[in-house]
Every structure is written in structure tokens, then in C-alpha cells.
Structure 1
Amino acid sequence: MQKLCRFMLCALLLCLGGCTGTPENVEPVQNFQLNRYLGKWYEIARLDHSFERGLSRVTAEYSLNPDGSVRVVNRGFSPEEARWKQAEGRAVFAGSESSGHLKVSFFGPFYASYVIVELDEAYQYALVTGHNKSYLWILSRTPSLPRSTLNRLVQRAAELGYPTDELILVAQNEAADANR
């Protein structure tokens, strides 16, 4: 019985550790500067997941906690419920602080990968993934991106093997909510 419990604990730890890795053939950006990444980001596009399903006007805001970790506040509007939803979490580097690979937790000791795959030099847009290729976000400092930039990021994601035909373009204004 004790061996079975140990095995189950090891298996659980291995599964949880797998959620903080990077997808196959995907590398985080290097020479990453956290202080430049902090602040508000608008979600331009995403792959669908239950925790964001139906939300519009989605933003993520990053700020430093006193302990050096990153406070993460994700917020989105549910037109169906006519109310805002918010989740607050904490992120820390998964390895080197010069690599754009963090791990974020919204549920106590359980972490998931936050891998910045592409980031422009001015820190104005980013392509972000989770631990596998079913997680993908395109973020911008502004509520919209030039079509050419969005197309280039979608093309890059497709080249990396993401199902870009499933991307959801996120409405970032109240008028778009009314048309849903």
C-alpha cells in the first residue's frame, strides 16, 4: 500500500511538472525583460478554453508583488451574463529570468506554463502559449493590432503547429458585445 501511495504521488508530481514545460519545437524568447512586460495587455485572439469561453474585452495586467513574483489579473466581460469576470494569480520564472518562460498559478500550488514565443522589440505585441499547442494567445498593448501584424503572428503560430483555424478574434469594445 505504501509503495502504491508513493507511486501515485510521483505520478501526480510528474503530471503537474509537465504543465510547466514548453510545447514541442517551441522556444521562449530570450533577453526577456520583465519590467518592460509589466502592465496591461489586450487579448486580440485566443484558442478556446472553458475558463474564457464567451468572454470579450479580455485583458491581462501584470505587476510586481513585494516578494518579486508577478501579480496577474485576467479580466473579461461576459455579454451573456452582462457582468465582468476576473481571476487573480501569481507568476514566477520557470527558469532563467532572461527567458520568456514563466509559470502562473491561479489555484494554490498548481502552476501552468506561460511561454512567450514572440515579442516585438518595443514590447507592444506578444504570441504566448501554454504547456502544449492547445493554448495560444495573441496579446497587444492596444485593443487592436494592424492586420499585417496579426496575420504575421497567426502565420508564425501555424508554422509552429498550432490550430490557427480555431483562433477566436476577441471583441475589445462594447459595441461588438451588442452584436453577439
Structure 2
Amino acid sequence: MHVSALLLTYGIAVAVSAASIPRTIQARQTGQTVVPAFYDGECYYPTPDPSFKLDEYLGTWYQVAGSPFGETQGARCVTARYEANDNGTVRVINTARAGEREVGANGTATPVSAAYGFGGAFRVTFPRSSNNECPGPNYIVQEYGGNYAIVQTARWGVLYILSRDRQPGQEAIDAWIERAVCLGSNATAISNYNQTNC
């Protein structure tokens, strides 16, 4: 009887011990990062920053790092300007330099349903863009820090690390990249963007 009570006590202690291991430690031990997301039945979406304020976000941003995408792949001086439209949407003006030629695209960002989070989640369209395979937002501000923003697409497909300063310094960029990885971005797909001689 004494042995069975001891085994029961040992079993409870092991169960309590295993249950008290924080999930972050378990995730670290397996090498996996687990981050919150929204799911609409078709796609997963990063969670937008709840402190996002559109009026503060408007203006000019410089892409200092991210995953190569479209015409910005290999380009330098990648810049985005956001301006409020009277109908509640946002005018998007993207520019970059590819070799000696200037490339760019103008589009519209439309806020999406609060089902995808409160603020910071948009559906961005460009005149020549194809339909997205996901029905929800394709531009999600995961983290907004005033002088920087970490922006993702659905399924963590494309990352934009934006800065208010064209050249914020490598230490700041590295910290933002590390933060983006903590938020679910693939570290091996991230590269610095050239913002010199613009």
C-alpha cells in the first residue's frame, strides 16, 4: 500500500512538472516557433499589432530588409508612401531603382473586417495585380514601433521591414529582423535592402 501511494505521488509530481514547462521552452527545445494567427477557413494570417494607428502610419517608409518580391527583388531605394483617401482607403505609392531605371506601382489599401484583427490589416490592390489566393488581408502590420514596422502577407509569404529613416543603422535592422523571426518569418528568406545612393 505504501508503494502504490508513493507511485501515485511520483506520477502526480511528474505530470505537474511536465505541465508547468512553459510553452516557449518546449517550442525552443523542438526548434519551432509558435505565433498567434487568424484562420478564415482558407488561409492563416499574422495577427496585426493592436496598437496600430493609421493616422500615425501614413507618410513615407523605406524598406530596409525583407523577403525579395516582384519588381523590388534586387532593387535598391525601395520606398513606400501612404496617403489617406476621403473614402477611408489608403493610396499606396511604391518606388524603387532597378539598375538605372525607376520602377514603381500605385495601388489602394482597403482596411479589412475586424475579424482579422483591429487595425493594421489591409487588402492592397494594384491595377495589374492578380487576385490573391487568400480572401483576407494581404498586408498585415504585425508590429508598429513608430520609427519601424514589420509587415507580413498571408501565410507569412512576403516580409517587409520598414523604417522611417532611410539608413537607420545595421544594429537596428538586425534587431527588427530578429523580431520578425520571433513573429514567424523565415530567417533564411530575409535579406537587407540597399538604401544608399538614392
TM-score normalised according to structure 1 size: 0.74
| Contact 2:65–2:177 (8 Å) recurs in 1 | no
Which segment is superposed worse, 31-40 or 151-160? 151-160
Partner of 1:49: 69
Structure with more of its chain in helix, by fraction: 2
| 2:113 aligned partner, one-letter code | G
Identity value in percent: 29
Cα pair distance change 1:18/1:142, threshold 3 Å: farther
| Contact 1:117–1:126 (8 Å) recurs in 2 | yes
Q: Which runs of 5+ in 1 are unaligned?
A: 1-16, 176-180
Partner of 1:131: 154
**Separation in 2, partners of 1:67, 1:161:** 33
List per-residue Cα deviations over 1:44-100 (Å, max 9, x = no partner). 012012332221100000001222210001100011xx1101100001111249421
| Contact 1:43–1:58 (8 Å) recurs in 2 | yes
How do residues 94-133 of structure 1 correspond to structure 2 at under 5 angstroms?
Answer: 94-96=112-114, 98-107=118-127, 110=131, 113-120=138-145, 123-133=146-156
List per-residue Cα deviations over 1:128-153 (Å, max 9, x = no partner). 00112221011001112233332222
RMSD over aligned Cα atoms: 2.3
Q: Which runs of 5+ in 2 are unaligned?
A: 1-40
2:47 to 15, 18, 27: 27
**Separation in 1, partners of 2:139, 2:184:** 17
| Contact 2:107–2:125 (8 Å) recurs in 1 | yes
| Contact 2:81–2:94 (8 Å) recurs in 1 | yes
Q: CA deviation at 1:30?
A: 0.7
2:182 is the alignment partner of 1:162: no
Partner of 1:178: none
Partner of 1:87: 105
Q: Which has the greater radius of gyration?
A: 2
2:163 is the alignment partner of 1:145: no
> Matched residue pairs, number?
151
List per-residue Cα deviations over 1:90-138 (Å, max 9, x = no partner). 0111124942111111137946511011111xx2100000112221011
**Separation in 1, partners of 2:170, 2:74:** 23
**Separation in 2, partners of 1:34, 1:100:** 7
| 1:102 aligned partner, one-letter code | F
**Separation in 2, partners of 1:53, 1:109:** 18
1:74 to 89, 94, 99: 94
